[in-house]
């Protein structure tokens, strides 16, 4: 076929040049852990990625070991891959994930002597030769390779490698990457960095008929991009006359779905469709038709933690997202279907790492593993779009005795878009907030007795299970008096709070507790101002609500339960002091707890201190 243009592939990370700027800004705001912090130190102490067992470049290998390694690799694919597998097969999944990672030039180049990543990006011929060089020891000399890459006038540029073995044909698609163009300067750089993102990924409307006898409509850019090579690719695969397995990562997973439908419609025996961190190219009608044509169990989707790309395009229509229900007009976007079965990695290794046949993730669900599980895009979650995570995760799921003939997964060290905190979450499954709390407790060296600041209690805040939003009165356990707004400054910013006696009709004792992301805002019902800890003096006051995230932590509060849930007793920790030794909680002055007008401030948390424990009494 005619190769018109090579491309630069990010392998799931480098495509996010624009996102990297956002990540940098978030790190500057303190949302990520500083490289020298405790989290970073723990990451450095973890063992390298599973791929670390592979021989390091330049390291000497004895002739005996080299011969043994070559013998183990020879024909490994044919001995371990199951062409007739009808449902989830972890070894097959690993082979296809490894190929989906190796189709990116920057992952391939380090394994080939004398060729650069740039060369592989610009020359499809050299890429095909290099891919064969790396794959042939595993597939044997009888396998053949053909790389399909063509750039249209609209800058669509799909890419796929077809590997034909004696028993099966594999079709592996590459995801979104960097376009190589003849343009120089700023314009050329913009086209290279954002070209495929704009032309293909973001080019959703109008939806196009899927065609090939399949029902439904498809994402415009994804379909028209595949159309550039669809016919030639179909004809080449059909000419082999063998069972077919189709796979891809990211945009490649979307292309793989559409191509599997084309091949099945042409009566090819599509035995498996494995998709890695992929978006969803067709509507519900298409998804149902593809499930019916291939068999749902033959379509296996893999996601790692909360990779945001696996949510796109949305299942929920725009009209539902904006209106909370169906609106009288049709939504132009949304309602995209999910094919096959969903498999989710919750961490890298160990029990519960892989959740098979997981329920679909809905837009807006509080199912985040980073930054309070809030919002559609968690800034740290793009780390898990790198194909390395799923590849390493699948390798860990295969029994050690069966790993011998398999190629080593790529290392997880230094992945694009991965902060130290995100990397640790990826390995251990511990949410970002849990790392912060563990670091804070370690730094403070606190041993709290009756009031225990446990990780699970914090996560209850993050999940929204700590307390139900509503209107409450806050009663101090010691003395039994209620938190109230001072009467002489109700309408002023900076007004303080104090202790008051029983007064159910006293509106100054009513506070609205509102959930905001991973924490809560406490607003005085009498004036709508937020309970605020002065950053300088640490005193409690009421102030107009600050809506700016990242700088309003002193108006956020976390609720730590004390005793049984039915007791509704809590310690209130200020959000600006979650990290560090100088944590602050709402604290009544000991000598004033039996006085009307008694003082209330913030203090360092202490074990068994009833002046820091507050009972939440629901009220109207």
- pLDDT, position 419: 81
436-618 to CATH, choices 3.30.200.20, 3.90.1150.150, 2.80.10.50, 3.40.50.620: 2.80.10.50
Q: What separation in angstroms does the CA of 416 have from each of 123, 228, 237, 385, 481?
A: 24, 30, 34, 10, 54
- For 190-249, the pLDDT digits (tens) are 555 555 556 666 667 777 888 888 888 888 889 999 999 999 999 999 999 999 999 999
As given in the structure block, the two tokens for residue 416 are 């694009």
Distant-in-sequence, close-in-space partners of 337: CB < 8 Å, separation ≥ 6: 216, 280, 282, 283, 284, 285, 286, 287, 288, 315
Query: Three-class SS of residue 394?
Result: helix
Rounded CA-CA distance 498/506 in Å is: 13
- How many angstroms from the chain centroid is the CA of residue 293? 30
Helix axis angle, 284-294 to 251-265, nearest 10°: 60
Give strand pairing partners of 599. Answer: 498
CATH number, domain 7-419: 3.40.50.1820
Q: Quickly list DSSP for 525-570.
A: TTT-PEEEE-TTT--EEEE-----TTS-GGG-EEEEE-S-GGG-EE
Residue 256's nearest CA partner among 371, 109, 96, 430 is 96
Beta strands 144-149 and 208-211 are: unpaired
Own/partner long-range contacts of 39-43 (Cβ < 8 Å, ≥24 apart): 39/420, 39/421, 39/424, 39/435, 39/436, 39/439, 40/420, 40/421, 42/424, 42/435, 43/420, 43/421, 43/423, 43/424
The residue with tokens 């303190």 is 30
Q: Which residues of the chain have pLDDT under 50?
A: 1-61, 66, 69, 318-332, 364-377, 441, 443-453, 455-456, 458-459, 462-464
Give strand pairing partners of 211. Answer: 214
Q: What separation in angstroms does the CA of 558 have from each of 459, 460, 509, 568, 612?
A: 10, 9, 20, 14, 13
Query: Three-class SS of residue 500?
Result: strand
Phi, psi at 588, each rounded to 5°: -80, 140
- pLDDT, position 67: 52
Rounded CA-CA distance 59/62 in Å is: 10
Q: What separation in angstroms does the CA of 42 have from each of 38, 45, 48, 420, 512?
A: 6, 5, 12, 9, 39
Domain with CATH 3.40.50.1820 in the chain: 7-419
As given in the structure block, the two tokens for residue 157 are 């540029």
Rounded CA-CA distance 344/303 in Å is: 5
Buried b (16+ CB within 10 A) or exposed e, 198-232: ebbbebbeebbebbbebbbbbbbbbbbbbbbbbee
- pLDDT, position 194: 58
Domain with CATH 2.80.10.50 in the chain: 436-618
Give strand pairing partners of 246. Answer: 171, 273
Q: What is the pTM of this model?
A: 0.63
Dihedral through CA 262, CA 265, CA 271, CA 274, nearest 10? 30
Beta strands 299-304 and 341-345 are: parallel
Distant-in-sequence, close-in-space partners of 21: CB < 8 Å, separation ≥ 6: none
Rounded CA-CA distance 279/201 in Å is: 9
Rounded CA-CA distance 593/481 in Å is: 7
As given in the structure block, the two tokens for residue 465 are 């299970």
């Amino acid at each position: 076929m005619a190769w018109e243009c090579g491309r630069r592939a990010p392998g799931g990370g480098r495509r996010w040049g624009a996102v990297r700027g956002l990540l940098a800004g978030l790190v500057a705001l303190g949302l990520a852990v500083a490289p020298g912090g405790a989290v970073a130190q723990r990451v450095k102490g973890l063992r390298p990625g599973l791929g670390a067992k592979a021989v390091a470049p330049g390291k000497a290998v004895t002739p005996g070991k080299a011969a043994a390694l070559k013998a183990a690799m020879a024909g490994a694919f044919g001995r371990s891959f199951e062409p007739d597998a009808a449902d989830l097969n972890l070894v097959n999944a690993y082979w296809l994930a490894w190929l989906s990672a190796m189709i990116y030039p920057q992952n391939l180049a380090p394994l080939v002597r004398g060729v650069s990543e740039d060369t592989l990006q610009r020359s499809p011929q050299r890429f095909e030769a290099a891919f064969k060089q790396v794959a042939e020891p595993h597939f044997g000399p009888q396998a053949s390779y053909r790389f399909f890459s063509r750039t249209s006038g609209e800058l669509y540029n799909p890419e796929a490698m077809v590997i034909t073995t004696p028993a099966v044909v594999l079709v592996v698609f590459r995801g979104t990457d960097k376009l190589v163009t003849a343009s120089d300067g700023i314009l050329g750089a913009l086209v290279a960095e954002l070209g495929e993102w704009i032309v293909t990924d973001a080019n959703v409307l109008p939806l196009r008929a899927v065609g090939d006898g399949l029902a439904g409509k498809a994402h415009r850019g994804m379909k028209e991009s595949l159309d550039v090579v669809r016919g030639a690719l179909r004809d080449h695969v059909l000419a082999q006359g063998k069972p077919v397995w189709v796979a891809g990562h990211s945009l490649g997973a979307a292309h793989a779905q559409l191509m599997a439908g084309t091949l099945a419609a042409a009566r090819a025996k599509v035995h498996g469709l494995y998709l890695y961190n992929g978006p969803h190219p067709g509507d519900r009608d298409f998804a149902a038709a593809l499930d019916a044509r291939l068999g749902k169990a033959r379509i296996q989707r893999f996601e790692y933690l909360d990779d945001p790309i696996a949510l796109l395009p949305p299942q929920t229509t725009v009209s539902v997202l904006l209106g909370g229900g169906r609106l009288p007009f049709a939504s132009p976007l949304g309602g995209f279907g999910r094919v096959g079965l969903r498999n989710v990695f919750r961490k890298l290794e160990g029990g519960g790492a892989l959740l098979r046949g997981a329920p679909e993730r809905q837009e807006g669900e509080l199912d985040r593993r980073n930054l309070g599980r809030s919002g559609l895009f968690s800034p740290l979650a793009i780390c898990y779009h790198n194909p390395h995570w799923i590849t390493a995760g699948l390798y860990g799921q295969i029994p050690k005795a069966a790993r011998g003939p398999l190629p080593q997964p790529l290392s997880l060290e230094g992945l694009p878009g991965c902060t130290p905190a995100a990397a640790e979450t990826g390995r251990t499954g511990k949410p970002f907030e849990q790392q912060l709390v563990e670091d804070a407790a370690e730094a403070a060296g606190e041993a709290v007795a009756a009031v225990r600041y446990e990780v699970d209690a914090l996560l209850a805040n993050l999940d929204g299970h700590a307390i139900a939003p509503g209107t409450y009165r806050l009663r101090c356990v010691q003395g039994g008096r209620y938190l109230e707004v001072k009467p002489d400054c109700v309408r002023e910013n900076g007004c303080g709070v104090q202790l008051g006696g029983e007064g159910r009709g006293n509106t100054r004792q009513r506070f609205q507790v509102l959930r905001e992301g991973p924490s809560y805002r406490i607003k005085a019902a009498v004036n709508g101002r937020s309970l605020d800890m002065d950053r300088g003096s640490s005193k409690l006051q009421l102030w107009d609500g600050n809506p700016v995230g990242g700088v309003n932590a002193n108006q956020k509060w976390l609720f730590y339960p004390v005793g049984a849930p039915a007791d509704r007793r809590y310690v209130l920790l200020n959000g600006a002091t979650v990290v560090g030794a100088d944590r602050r909680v709402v604290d009544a002055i000991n000598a004033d707890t039996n006085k009307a007008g008694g003082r209330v401030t913030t203090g360092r948390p202490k074990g068994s201190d009833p002046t820091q424990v507050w009972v939440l009494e629901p009220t109207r």
